[in-house]
Amino acid sequence: MRRLVFAGLLSALTCLGQYQYDFTGAPDASAPDPAIWAANGTGRPGGDQAVQFYYTYGPGSYIYFPTVSGANANDYEVASTMDVANDGTFIHYLRASTDALATSTGGTGSYISVELYTGYAFNGPSTITVKQCVNGSVTTLASTTATGSLGMKFRTVVWGTNLWVFFNSQRVLAMTIPFTTGHPGFGGIPGQYGQLVMGPIQFGPHEVTPPAAPSVASVRSSILPNQISLQWQGVSDDPGTSPNRGTGVLLYQIWRGSTQLNSEILLE
Amino acid sequence: MQRIVAALLFLYCFLPAVLPAQRAAAPGNRYFRLICLVHLTGSGKNGDPVVPEYVTEGTAIARAADTIAVAAATPPAGLNSRALAAAPVATAPVARVPATVGVSAPMAQRPGYLAWRMQVTDDGKMAIIHIVAADRHAFDSILADKRPEIRVFEIGKDSKDKIEAELRKFKKNFELDSFPLEVQ
């Protein structure tokens, strides 16, 4: 009889529940506090805790100055709620210089950008493009599509050379990037007649405290000739001892000896 | 007769419950996938980003197909009250279909490249790319590329060891497992 060895929970990241951001809100787009924001291009107030990027003003960016909490200030999450999308590109800046600004044809400064082109009101798949800009020289690193919606949270998490992109809690892109230091930020590129509104904007640390391992005693199995079913007690979302409380459970991995049996996300 | 009916009724009611559950493929394993070594193009300057060969065209085909699908399914502008509520002026319609879109229409429902990512080789002159397509014909042009410096491997046909052994000649620490690409 085959025997499965349940090796436990190996990976967890900010995904669910009680994660606490350092900042939630939006700059005063007309007069951003220079102690907090480096503004490039032009955004406009977009309502309560939101910023609008409008076609008559062109692209804009707001780079966040304060040190992000956590073990490494260069590892962080950027999140924003998608309020209005009409022919334009939402942007999260990562590892950015203070003059970082992506445009429809290029960029200035240095940054990694996660650019989400939405078309009209997220109708149809959205295009996610990851770009690198080094002193104005732009390289496109990756591109994919994913289906989003108005009101969703667009999230990018970066630590070390790892970059993950989420639509709400669904991961839509995982890759590596070359930059390891720099500020987070956000911005937009409106299309020819487009506009975007995003907010509130959120910046927070990369949580490094792993959640507790599942209890081996809680694992129950059902074994058939060609199928094995496993059930276990889910682990708590927040072990509660980290200074950045709010570790989330991203996935469970199942191993048989040294072989990983699943690569898909296993969450109830 | 009653036994037969009872047996059929039993199968109708309970057979689905005992069939093996069908799981969706993992996002990192879906669709057709190539690992290729290609040239980089572009200067990085305004309007000319550095990008691997092939991917711009493949992505454009996919985006054009999405645009057509959206245009076919989108109600007339003005029906989305949330999007228009904050719009200070009327905006342009979304569906601006490129004139060349029809050329690729005979391909699958999701033609072109669904996703790609790249790593620059150690000499900075070429790129290792991971491309995903729902229709294998999206790879026709790159599979037909016979330039001697180009390498093309198909995941599922070429072994991991073969792919890594060849590409490590160009990127010393290349690992296929560290080069995943999830696609919805």
pLDDT, tens only, B156-171: 999 999 999 999 999 9
Q: Are residues A113 and A221 in the same domain?
A: no
The answer to whether the CB atoms of B66 and A192 lie below 8 A apart is no
Q: Which residue has the higher pLDDT, A246 or B41?
A: B41
The pLDDT assigned to B79 comes to 44
Q: How confident is the model at residue B68 (pLDDT cuts 50, 70, 90)?
A: confident
B chain contacts of residue A52, beta-carbon cutoff 8 Å: 86
Estimate to the nearest angstrom the gap between the alpha carbon of B69 and the chain centroid.
Answer: 16
The pLDDT assigned to A7 comes to 37
Q: Assess whether pLDDT exceeds 90 at residue B18.
A: no
Q: Are residues A248 and A176 in the same domain?
A: no
Going by C-alpha positions, the residue among A183, A150, A180 that lies closest to residue A167 is A150
The pLDDT assigned to B95 comes to 30
- Residue B159 distance to chain A (closest CA, Å): 18
pLDDT, tens only, A17-62: 456 889 999 999 989 999 999 999 989 998 889 999 999 999 999 9
Q: Are residues A268 and A186 in the same domain?
A: no
The answer to whether the CB atoms of A174 and B50 lie below 8 A apart is no
Q: Which residue of A has its CA nearest to B76?
A: A120
- Residue A178 distance to chain B (closest CA, Å): 10
Q: Are residues A49 and A156 in the same domain?
A: yes
Q: Are residues A178 and A259 in the same domain?
A: no
What percent of chain B is predicted at pLDDT more than 70? 68
Q: Which residue has the higher pLDDT, A267 or A1?
A: A267
Q: Which of A187, A205, A223 is the C-terminal boundary of a domain? A: A205
Q: Are residues A51 and A101 in the same domain?
A: yes
For B159-184, what is the mean pLDDT? 92
Q: Are residues A11 and A94 in the same domain?
A: no
pLDDT, tens only, A85-124: 888 999 999 999 999 999 999 999 999 999 999 878 777 7
The pLDDT assigned to A118 comes to 84
The answer to whether the CB atoms of A264 and B83 lie below 8 A apart is no
- Residue B27 distance to chain A (closest CA, Å): 7
The answer to whether the CB atoms of A125 and B66 lie below 8 A apart is yes
The answer to whether the CB atoms of A173 and B182 lie below 8 A apart is yes
pLDDT, tens only, B105-156: 444 578 899 999 999 999 999 999 999 999 999 999 999 999 999 999 999 9
Domain count, chain B: 1
The pLDDT assigned to A187 comes to 96
The answer to whether the CB atoms of A195 and B114 lie below 8 A apart is no
Contacts of A54 (CB under 8 A, 6+ apart): A44, A190, A195, B88
Q: Are residues A13 and A29 in the same domain?
A: no
HEC states along chain A? CCCCECCCCCCCCCCCCCCCCCEEECCCCCCCCCCCEEEEECCEECCCCCEEEECCCCCEEEEECCCCCCCCCCCEEEEEEEEEEEEEEEEEEEEECCCCEECCCCEECCEEEEEEECCECCCCCEEEEEEEEECCEEEEEEEEEECCCCCCEEEEEEECCEEEEEECCEEEEEEECCCCCCEEEEEEEEEEEEEEEEEEEEEEECCCCCCCCCCHHHCEEEEECCEEEEECCCCCCCCCCCCCCCCCCCCCCCEECCEECCCCCCCC
Q: Which domain does A256 fall in, by range?
A: 1-19+207-268
Lowest-confidence region among A61-65, B81-85, B132-136: B81-85
Q: Which domain does B165 fall in, by range?
A: 32-72+94-178
Please report where in the chains the tokens 């790593």 appear, as a residue. Answer: B119
Q: Assess whether pLDDT exceeds 50 at residue B8.
A: yes
The pLDDT assigned to B151 comes to 97
Q: Which of A152, A171, A205 is the C-terminal boundary of a domain? A: A205
Q: Are residues A212 and A201 in the same domain?
A: no
B chain contacts of residue A264, beta-carbon cutoff 8 Å: 23-27
- Residue B44 distance to chain A (closest CA, Å): 4
Q: Are residues A161 and A88 in the same domain?
A: yes
The answer to whether the CB atoms of B82 and A227 lie below 8 A apart is no
- Residue A240 distance to chain B (closest CA, Å): 31
A vs B, Cβ pairs < 8 A, gives 141
Q: How confident is the model at residue B10 (pLDDT cuts 50, 70, 90)?
A: low
Burial B121-142 (b: 16+ CB within 10 A, else e): beeeebbbbbbbbbbeebbeeb
Q: Which residue has the higher pLDDT, B23 or A8?
A: B23
For A145-159, what is the mean pLDDT? 91
Q: Are residues A158 and A181 in the same domain?
A: yes
The answer to whether the CB atoms of B181 and A85 lie below 8 A apart is no
CATH number at residue A162: 2.60.120.560
Q: How confident is the model at residue A266 (pLDDT cuts 50, 70, 90)?
A: low
Give ∠ CA B30-A79-A159 in degrees, rounded to 5: 70
pLDDT, tens only, A161-216: 999 999 887 888 989 898 899 999 999 999 988 999 998 999 999 877 677 778 88
Nearest-CB residue to B86 (from A123, A191, A197): A197
> A70: how many CB neighbours lie within 10 A of its CB?
20
Q: Model ipTM?
A: 0.75
The pLDDT assigned to A171 comes to 85
Domain count, chain A: 2
The pLDDT assigned to A242 comes to 46
Q: Are residues A180 and A212 in the same domain?
A: no
